[in-house]
Amino acid sequence: MQLRRWSILGTTSLLLMMGCSQGQTQLDSSGDPEMDQTAAFSHSIIEKLENRPQLKTPSKIVTYMTSTAGTAELTPPSEEYEPDAASQYKGLRPAQTVWIQSTQTPRNELFQKHLVLSADDQNGLIIANAYRQNESQPFYTWEWSIED
């Protein structure tokens, strides 16, 4: 029981640190508020991850963000399933209608919108393409530079 309590406290502390330390980078608008919200969330996560020594390239950041471990760590607590942690979390949240994925994973057909992340290690960029359901071309693209 004591271990569970410390695990919950540790997770809550991590989420609070992530939420309270968010950068206030303004992104250009895609014209879709839900996609903009999800892009801002993704960009804030990227800014945090690029400070980790093991995640120094865009491809490593994208791979981690879209992995099972990364998703488990980086997804904000659910208001429905984790009300205590969710009430303490102050960071950005992705829109519930947008799925974040890498170019290596197939689209999740349960979502009508997708933010697809790809890496350009040569130029130090993460590219975020915004798609609507059944569209093969992105309707908006952001490029985020990763600092060395």
pLDDT of amino acid 107: 87
The phi, psi pair for 40, rounded to 5°, reads -65, -40
Residue numbers in the chain where pLDDT is lower than 70: 1-25, 148
pTM for this model (two decimals): 0.81
In 3D, which of 5, 80, 15 has the Cα closest to residue 48? 15
Structure tokens given for 74:
């980086």
Structure tokens given for 98:
């947008």
Q: Residue 116 burial (CB < 10 Å; 0-12/13-18/19+)? A: buried
Instruction: Provide the residue count of the chain.
Output: 148
pLDDT, tens digit, for every residue of 17-41? Answer: 444 444 456 899 999 999 999 999 9
Domain boundaries, the chain: 2-145
pLDDT of amino acid 26: 81
CA distance 113 to 99: 6
Beta sheet of 140-145, edge-to-edge order: 98-102, 113-120, 125-132, 140-145
Amino acid (one-letter) located at 49: L
pLDDT of amino acid 147: 78
